[in-house]
Amino acid sequence: MALNRDRALDEMKAAIGPEFGFVTAVGFRVYRGSIVAVCQDGTILPAASASPPSPMVAIAGVCRDFRDNTGSAIVSDMVGDEPVQVMRRTFALPFDAAPTWANVGAPVYAVDDETVTLTENAGTEAAPVNRLQVGTLVGFDLSGTPYVKIG
């Protein structure tokens, strides 16, 4: 299920990576903690969004803040085309099917702006959908939570 509000993600503090500022594509909103893709025009939008303004080329990372560029929000400091910081780090991301230790080192793909999977393709053979790679499964904490390195 795609996000409909901000979320906080557990992250490995020792694995701090770079942050980049991106403008949210017109007609889209991104939530804090959402997985976002960057388009050819340099704007970002929620991963696996339909009808991007230009083709999605890669996963940019995870949003640090909420930004609404739909033109319908009323909270002024979170609206418009001001850049939002996108983080490339190691995060605990929810999987569609639980990975195992045998999957460590495997590529991880975006199902939507919240969920990841180990499967690159979705849909039918007649209409396959190639998902964007988010990162790599790097391990599990003591409680069994999987961590994905983005970057």
Q: What is the pLDDT of residues 43-93, one digit of tens each?
A: 999 998 989 999 999 999 999 999 999 887 666 666 677 899 999 999 999
pLDDT of residue 28: 94
Counting Cβ atoms within 10 Å, is residue 55 exposed (0-12), middle (13-18) or buried (19+)? exposed
pLDDT, average across residues 24-47:
95
Lowest mean pLDDT among 9-18, 45-54, 95-104, 134-143: 9-18
Q: Is residue 130 pLDDT above 80, yes or no?
A: yes
Q: Is residue 15 pLDDT above 60, yes or no?
A: no
